[in-house]
């Protein structure tokens, strides 16, 4: 039978990697390095990494329609299963933000 200390130690060992994974960017809100005007979604294919380098992406004309759902055509980014999106700032003009098709997408610092 495991002692309470053994159970607690086991739980901490399981939780530690998850906790450390959250220790990423600590610099507050990132400052945009540039502004990118896009008129349609950017598609990221399976296995690809899109690193925006902290650019701010703006849909022009806006695809934001308050609470009216517009679908994939109104996103800033569409990721296929296994794609990675990182280091981007998305303005509110991109009504649907990011779509992940098929699940299993990686979204880092967005």
Please report, in angstroms and rounded to a whole number, the separation of the first and last CA atoms in the chain: 45
pLDDT of residue 35: 93
Q: Which residue has the higher pLDDT, 66 or 77?
A: 77
pTM reported for the whole predicted model: 0.70
pLDDT at 49 over 90: yes
Q: Which whole number is the average pLDDT over 3-26? A: 52
**Domains by residue range for the chain, with CATH:** 29-108 (2.160.20.10)
pLDDT at 6 over 70: no
Contact 73, 95 (CB under 8 A): no
Cα 22 to chain center, whole Å?
14
């Amino acid at each position: 039978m495991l002692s309470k200390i053994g159970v607690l130690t086991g739980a901490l060992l399981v939780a530690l990697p998850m906790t450390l994974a959250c220790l990423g960017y600590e610099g507050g809100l990132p400052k945009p390095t540039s502004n990118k005007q896009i008129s349609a979604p950017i598609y990221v294919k399976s296995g690809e990494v899109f690193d925006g380098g902290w650019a701010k992406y703006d849909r022009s004309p806006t695809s934001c329609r308050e609470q009216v759902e517009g679908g994939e055509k109104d996103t800033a980014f569409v990721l296929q299963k296994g794609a990675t999106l990182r280091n981007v700032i998305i303005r509110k003009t991109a009504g649907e933000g990011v779509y992940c098709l098929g699940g299993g997408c990686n979204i880092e610092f967005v």
